[in-house]
């Protein structure tokens, strides 16, 4: 496991342990206590901040905002009983595939 994978796993574990904590004691617990839409709203806000940081061209600000977005996506994964390792496996599955071919192979809805 790479250092970055270990960091993601540790953050995911922390998120999981705080899921049922008192909302007064933890940002994650407070977010979960507001219901599923609160996490989705936060992801939308953070994604917008990523776009704005990218447009500004400030690399350090972009890294900061992407970290916020990833964190909130990890909260969403926890909300759905998923782990960052599963996202890594999906990315590994796609590695070496043409993005166009991978998208075309997806089931239609």
Q: What is the pLDDT of residues 6-61, one digit of tens each?
A: 999 999 999 999 999 999 999 999 999 999 999 999 999 999 999 999 999 999 99
- The single-letter DSSP state of residue 106 is S
Residue 101, pLDDT > 80, answer no
Q: What is the pTM of this model?
A: 0.85
Residue 78: pLDDT band (50, 70, 90) is very high
Q: Can you tell me which residue has the tokens 């992407």?
A: 66
Architecture of domain 3-104: Orthogonal Bundle (1.10)
Residue 19 or residue 109, greater confidence: 19
pLDDT at 70: 97
The residue-averaged pLDDT of 84-107 equals: 85
CA 42, 47, 48, 52 torsion: positive or negative?
positive
Name the phi and psi angles at 69, rounded to 5.
-65, -45
The residue-averaged pLDDT of 81-103 equals: 87
Rounded-to-integer distance, Cα 82 and Cα 59, Å: 30
The structural domains of the chain, with segments of one domain joined by +, span 3-104
Q: Which residues contact 40 (CB under 8 A, 6 or more apart)?
A: 76
**Six-digit token pair at 54?**
């990218």
């Amino acid at each position: 496991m790479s250092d970055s994978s270990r960091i993601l796993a540790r953050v995911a574990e922390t998120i999981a342990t705080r899921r049922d904590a008192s909302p007064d004691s933890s940002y994650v617990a407070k977010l979960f206590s507001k219901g599923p839409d609160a996490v989705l709203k936060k992801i939308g806000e953070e994604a917008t901040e990523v776009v704005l940081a990218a447009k500004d061209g400030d690399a350090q600000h972009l890294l900061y905002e992407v970290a916020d977005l990833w964190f909130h996506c990890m909260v969403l994964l926890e909300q759905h009983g998923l782990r960052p390792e599963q996202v890594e496996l999906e990315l590994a599955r796609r590695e070496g595939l043409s993005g166009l071919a991978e998208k075309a192979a997806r089931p239609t809805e």
